[in-house]
Amino acid sequence: MSENSAPKMRPYGRQLFICQHGDCAPPEEALKLQGVVRENLGVLRKLRNPERVKCTLSDCLGVCRGGPIVAVYPDGVWYHHVTPELMERIVQEHLGEGRPLDEHIFHRLYPAEQTPVYAPDLRGDAGSYDPESNSVRTATSETADSGYAPAPDGDDGENSAEVIDAEERRRAARRKKLKKGLVIVNTGEGKGKTTAALGVMTRAWGRDMRVGMIQFLKHEKARFGEIKAAEKMGVERIGVGDGWTWTSKDMDETEARARAGWAKAQEIIQAGELDILIMDEFTYPLHYGWLDTAEVLAWLSEHKPPMMHLIITGRYAPADLVAYADLVTEMRNIKHPFDTQGIRAQAGIEF
């Protein structure tokens, strides 16, 4: 899909929005209501059912009183003071039987007698859900042609991530109990790549995990805040750089230091004594060709302990590294105080 091409819409018939912002009601009440919805929707939650209902927690619905607030779309119906008992009725009577609970509605987008047209009606494949039997009808030739046929009975989604929703994927993951040492990449031109890695360092330290850090470009004698914090936490930090590439007075020396840093990283990884190794600014030696990306990835595939986590930070992460990693986040600059106000880097924020 190109950057400007229109996305494809999943075939939801209705969508519930539950406000969890906290102004109209405590956020935990929204979570309880979401649980009620999931317990009572049944087959309406099947992804390929064209009358499927999607339940979403919303940050704020803009009412800020009389909560919990629940909105049903495309009906345009808003409910107030929704309790778990009322939520169950909304699912069964409004969503299942098409009978809104007028006595609990405080706002309508459409007049009560005007029924909005649902997506299944527009596609011509409506009627796959039978509320009397609470079941999904077998796909007809029309629904098969539309590409929105109901999911087969007993399909647990193991063969395709598209046939189960996010909550069902989480349940499946909990059942499998899979764990592995992740390769995590924080890249992009926005601020926060090293910061995010240090956040993981703090979290892991709090879990009594063994953490180490190699900084490939920052000067070996640097005394930034994270370095002082690592010392106080007992986290080993190894600096192999001689400063940023744009301030380097000898690029051959900078490259040699980066290669030495990779050799040190190989020693640490092979030793297998750490739970997490942060390789700060490691994308730059790969991007500038000081290290061969394919050779690095091949070495990691063979030697990284199965449960060791690697966190790699820096701009310009090579495509092969992105493909190899388990988790990739791109930091994007939307607004920066230096650009808008001329405010330079500040202690505790940038260093």
pLDDT tens-digit map of 289-338: 999 999 999 999 999 999 999 999 999 999 999 999 999 999 998 888 88
- Residue recorded with tokens 């950057």: 3
pLDDT band of 25, cuts 50, 70, 90: confident
Does 160 have pLDDT greater than 80? no
Predicted pLDDT at 121: 46
Q: Phi and psi at residue 344, in whole multiples of 5°?
A: -80, 175
Lowest mean per-residue pLDDT among 155-164, 173-182, 289-298: 155-164
Q: Name the residue with higher pLDDT: 125 or 70.
A: 70
Packing angle of the helix pair 193-206, 225-233 (nearest 10 deg):
10
Answer yes or no: CATH 3.40.1190.20 is held by domain 183-341: no
pLDDT band of 89, cuts 50, 70, 90: very high
Mean pLDDT in residue range 184-210: 94
CA distance 295 to 233: 34
Average pLDDT of the chain is 80
Determine how β-strand 129-130 pairs with β-strand 135-136.
antiparallel
CA distance 351 to 332: 19
Predicted pLDDT at 7: 67
Does 201 have pLDDT greater than 70? yes
Distances (CA, A) of 310 to 33, 318, 328, 330: 39, 16, 12, 17
Predicted pLDDT at 115: 61
Pick the CATH number of 12-172 from 3.40.30.10, 3.60.15.10, 3.30.930.10, 3.40.50.800: 3.40.30.10
Lowest mean per-residue pLDDT among 160-169, 203-212, 257-266, 318-327: 160-169
Predicted pLDDT at 279: 98
Predicted pLDDT at 132: 52
* Domain range list for the chain: 12-172, 183-341
Q: Which tokens go with 169?
A: 């994927």
